[in-house]
């Protein structure tokens, strides 16, 4: 595919945002949202997705589809990135825990809206590459570490929102414990290669979750560091 100029990529990104907004309207009866918030639209329009793909894949960066980033991981479909961000209902003073840094694209989108983003990645090479790239792009409110996402980041809890970018068979209890009262959790639930559902949950005063099923999805499995899928 021919190389793209920055102007080409900017135009492609704008078209992608338009496509995402159309898809939101087409799926509103499932997702419960008629449109994306202006903050989410602005974040999707700003973050250069092509920087989070391998150089040879730049020409595919603004297709509304997931893409491989190596190590058996993917960068999520832009519509899903926008939707999961929207479902968190983020405010500028919010602190977010992200499980599954990947290449850092979803992380950057979150950082365009939230006050702080704390991200955990099980693959050390991905975590290091994401941290380097996010630094290059000027993100100073993102903190990345390698670890087991099932355990969360307890010393920094509670969080206003928790987002998980890999599918778990069940919601990890540690993540529920680290979510503040009234906080939102967005996570794909289900086994890999089987039916998965994007779940949005709000933490009640008594520590339980008020859950709603949003949309059928397909994600790579959530794994522990050094272990296979749970």
Q: Where do the H-state alpha helices sit in the chain? A: 6-26, 28-31, 38-46, 78-87, 105-111, 124-136, 173-177
Catalytic residue among 3, 76, 195, 224: 76
DSSP assignment letter at 154: G
Which of 94, 153, 155, 76 is CA-nearest to residue 121?
153
Q: Is 76 among the residues known to form the active site? A: yes
- Whether the Cβ atoms of residue 183 and residue 157 lie closer than 8 Å to each other: no
- How many Å apart are CA 182 and CA 180, to the nearest integer? 6
* SS3 assignment, position 133: helix
46/188 Cα distance (integer angstroms) = 25
User: What would the two tokens of residue 193 be?
Assistant: 């290669």
Could you tell me if 46 and 110 are in contact, meaning their C-beta atoms sit under 8 angstroms apart?
Answer: no
Q: How many CB atoms lie within 10 A of CB 205?
A: 7
Residues 6 or more apart in contact with residue 199 via CB below 8 angstroms: 171, 185, 186, 187, 188, 189, 211, 212, 213, 214
Which residues form the catalytic set?
A: 76
């Amino acid at each position: 595919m021919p190389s793209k100029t920055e102007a080409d990529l900017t135009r492609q990104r704008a078209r992608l945002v338009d496509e995402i907004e159309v898809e939101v309207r087409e799926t509103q009866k499932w997702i419960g949202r008629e449109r994306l918030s202006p903050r989410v639209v602005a974040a999707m329009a700003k973050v250069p997705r092509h920087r989070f793909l391998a150089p040879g894949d730049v020409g595919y960066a603004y297709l509304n589809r997931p893409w491989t980033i190596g190590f058996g991981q993917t960068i999520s479909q832009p519509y899903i990135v926008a939707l999961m961000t929207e479902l968190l209902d983020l405010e500028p003073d919010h602190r977010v825990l992200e499980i599954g840094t990947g290449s850092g694209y979803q992380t950057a989108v979150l950082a365009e809206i939230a006050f702080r983003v704390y991200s955990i990645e099980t693959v050390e090479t991905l975590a290091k590459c994401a941290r380097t790239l996010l630094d290059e792009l000027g993100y100073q409110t993102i903190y990345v570490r390698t670890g087991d996402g099932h355990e969360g980041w307890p010393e920094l809890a509670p969080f206003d929102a928790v987002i998980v970018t890999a599918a778990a068979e069940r919601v990890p209890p540690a993540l529920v414990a680290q979510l503040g009262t009234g906080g939102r959790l967005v996570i794909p639930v289900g086994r890999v290669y089987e039916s998965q559902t994007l779940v949005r949950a709000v933490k009640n005063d008594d520590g339980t979750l008020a859950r709603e099923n949003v949309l059928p999805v397909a994600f790579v499995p959530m794994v522990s560091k050094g272990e296979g899928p749970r």
